[in-house]
Amino acid sequence: MKHASRTRRSAFLSFQPPAVGDEEVAGAADAIRSGWLTSGPRAAELERRCRELLEAEHVLALSSGTAALHLALLALGVGPGDEVITTSLTWPSTANVIVHCGATPVFADVRSGDLNIDPDSARALAGPKTKAILPVHLYGQPADLDPLLALGPPLVEDAAHAFESRYRDRKIGSVSAATCFSLYATKNVAAGEGGLVATNDARVAQAIDDLRVMRRSHGSLYDVAVPGYKANLSDVLAAIALAQLDKLQRHRDLREAHFAAYDEAVAELDGIDPVERDPRDVHAYHLYVVRIDAERAGATRDEYQRALADENIGTSVHFLPVHQLSAYRDRLGPHQPPLPETERAGREVLSLPLSPAHTADDIRDAVEALRRVHERFA
């Protein structure tokens, strides 16, 4: 086993700083100078390019990934009295949008390996009230979609972590009724804020378009098809996203190299195990997440996180189970089953620093700090 360095990093290593530069600044400035501050030609160009990248017939740019999920569910008719099966191991937005539709989230358990939704658990929960299934492609690893599709209700995929992912030979974005992406500041394509919906269903695309802009124009007049939302993406943010698309492969290569460095390091650390990745799929390398087995690693996840912070290494937790949060503890349906794998993961998962903005030396500092902490605890 390699011996850990005894040198503590002098400056704090941010967990996931955005990888932006002069190109993003120039793109935003050009958009402002053009007079297009709201949705315009740059948003349309983003949609066009993403149709190609996501292998989808329709892509709509929205104000956030949360808005993308919300409007996709509404477009599929999700409303009061309905249930949507999803996972609790996710950011609360995934469940929030179900509640915003007036429906009830029903949480399936996750698989112990990749921590994605367990199709067997989802199958046991499916019933006459199930209007849709909302899987999450956690950390960039696609969920197992085929058995979920076989259950019958339409799928709305939460692909906030999965812009570059492929499920078997299919691009995430081309498989289900609707696939929703995030352009948030930490995402693989980071515009600061924003979201996308990809779909091959023209009716779903039209419904989302009606909901995002509130009106259809007819020359100098307009009509309102539905009481919609203000959920369109501005050209300023679209310009930043377009600059990010130009760097997509370069940023992916950097994250993949960081993954390899972490894989090599944690293989030597008993009780610190990376979340599984399926070699049949293309992973997006969005988050590098380990599980801290307190018995083998000598301390809990929270103790490791505090110790790494003392080493000037920033980390995060993805995620605390939604069903245990205050907003949801009293909202669970009467037939909500126990979620042992989800709750165990919620105690163990720890996300290590990962960004194209990080250098190889930054990742080396994180690895050496993790080794030092592990030596002390284990």
Catalytic residues, which ones? 187
Find residue 87's DSSP bridge partners.
108
Q: Which of 309, 307, 315, 318 is nearest to 346 (CA)?
A: 318
Residue 285 DSSP one-character state = -
Distance CA(146)–CA(84), nearest Å, equals 18
Distance CA(378)–CA(5), nearest Å, equals 16
Residue 329's SS3 state is helix
Distance CA(99)–CA(78), nearest Å, equals 10
CA-CA-CA-CA torsion sign (323, 325, 330, 331) = negative
Distance CA(175)–CA(188), nearest Å, equals 20
**Ramachandran sector of residue 197 (left: φ over 0; alpha: ψ -120 to 50; beta: rest):** beta
Rounded to 10 deg, the angle between the 65-75 and 93-100 helix axes is: 40
Q: What angle do CA 303, 309, 315 make, to 5 degrees?
A: 85
Strand residues in 234-279 grouped as ranges (E) = 272-274
Q: Which of 88, 59, 85 is nearest to 73 (CA)?
A: 85
Measured over all CA atoms, what is the biggest interatomic distance in the chain, rounded to whole angstroms? 72
Query: What are phi and psi for residue 94, nearest 5 degrees?
Result: -60, -40
Asked if 144 contacts 123 with a C-beta cutoff of 8 angstroms, the reply is no
